[in-house]
């Protein structure tokens, strides 16, 4: 296929998704969208992108498959342990100065990192005064997050990460084995609220003391990143913290003056007070 023609067809696909369902992928990083479109087309049973457009406009189940394919659900328990070690060392002492804390985990995928944070808060004596809002636009991933059931392979990996992050107990204290999977302790969900939320189209999620959004913004173009950094700034209390992925930073965004760096390596920032 002629590349110019493919670009037009992808533009039409993204416009159709937005107008029919309200999901806006138009400002996602272009190379990523192109890869995901080709991948979904190859397994969709459609021969061309226009054929795929026609089907998704008339078949909500088909569209649901596309959304699952377009969203990124790569995550793990205590992913990048140094980040959790830094949160424990540099953010937790400030959170302890508040009688109640509100935390937003945006783009939670299947929830492993939200549970990791809950474990950290529990070990630091903060969980009982915390409310954790766990959000994603992918309903399938969100359902897995609510269940908190993961493969034993993920637990092995999570155990190593937990120890490297400075965990204070045995990681096995936080789950029960079930055949070829493990269920995380239901008590970790007690103060979690799971909700569908789209960073591209939804509004301010106010008065948060900490926002985690790790490895999501790398899939957005500069314009959309600017929008989301502004959204995070408006959603944080003064002095609130923002934790990002390893290749993400507000430094060159239009909201840069709202944040100061706490830990450049761990990508932790603080809203200026």
Q: How many angstroms separate the first and last alpha carbons of the chain? A: 53
Q: What is the pLDDT of residue 1?
A: 61
Q: What is the dihedral of CA 10, 75, 198, 235, to 10 degrees?
A: -140
pLDDT in the model for residue 233: 97
In this predicted structure, what is the pLDDT of residue 223? 92
Which residues does the chain have with pLDDT short of 70?
1
Tokens of 115: 């549970």
Q: What is the pLDDT of residue 32?
A: 87
- Tens digit of each residue's pLDDT (9 = 90 or more) over 72-102: 777 899 999 999 999 999 999 999 999 999 9
pLDDT for res 123? 98
What is residue 144's predicted lDDT score, i.e. its pLDDT?
Answer: 94
Q: What pLDDT score does 140 carry? A: 87
Regarding the domain delimited by 81-271, which CATH topology (the fold level of the hierarchy) does it fall under?
Answer: Rossmann fold (3.40.50)
Distance between CA atoms of 185 and 85, rounded to whole angstroms? Answer: 22
The pTM (predicted TM-score) of the whole model is 0.88
Q: Where are the domains of the chain?
A: 3-70, 81-271
User: Which pLDDT belongs to residue 206?
Assistant: 84
**Predicted pLDDT of residue 153:** 86
Let me know: does 188 contact 115? Beta carbons within 8 Å: yes
What span, in angstroms and rounded, lies between the C-alpha atoms of 46 and 62? Answer: 11
For residue range 181-197, what is the model confidence (pLDDT) as tens digits? 999 999 999 999 999 99
Residues 82, 206: Cα–Cα separation, whole Å: 28
Q: 3-class SS at 87? A: helix
């Amino acid at each position: 296929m002629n590349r110019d023609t493919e670009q037009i067809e992808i533009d039409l696909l993204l416009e159709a998704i937005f107008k029919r369902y309200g999901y806006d992928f138009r400002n996602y990083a272009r190379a990523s969208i192109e890869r995901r479109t080709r991948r979904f087309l190859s397994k969709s049973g459609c021969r061309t992108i226009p054929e795929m457009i026609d089907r998704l406009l008339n078949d909500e189940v088909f569209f649901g498959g596309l959304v699952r394919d377009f969203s990124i659900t790569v995550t793990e328990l205590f992913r990048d342990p140094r980040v959790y070690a830094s949160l424990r060392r540099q953010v937790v002492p400030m959170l302890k100065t508040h009688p109640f804390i509100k935390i937003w985990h945006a783009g939670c995928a299947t929830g492993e990192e939200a549970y990791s944070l809950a474990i950290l808060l529990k070990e630091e004596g903060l969980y009982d005064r915390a409310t954790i809002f766990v959000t994603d636009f992918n309903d399938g991933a969100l359902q897995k997050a609510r269940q908190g059931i993961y493969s034993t392979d993920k637990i092995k990996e999570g155990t190593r990460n937990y120890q490297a992050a400075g965990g204070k107990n045995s990681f096995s204290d936080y789950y029960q084995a079930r055949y070829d999977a493990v269920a995380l302790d239901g008590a970790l969900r007690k103060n979690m609220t799971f909700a569908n939320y789209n960073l591209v189209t939804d509004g301010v999620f106010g008065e948060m003391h900490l926002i985690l959004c790790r490895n999501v913004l790398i899939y957005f173009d500069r314009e959309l990143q600017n929008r989301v950094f502004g959204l995070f700034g408006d959603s944080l209390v003064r002095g609130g913290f923002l934790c990002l992925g390893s290749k993400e930073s507000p430094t060159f965004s239009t909201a840069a003056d709202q944040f100061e760096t706490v830990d450049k390596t761990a990508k932790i920032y603080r809203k200026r007070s």
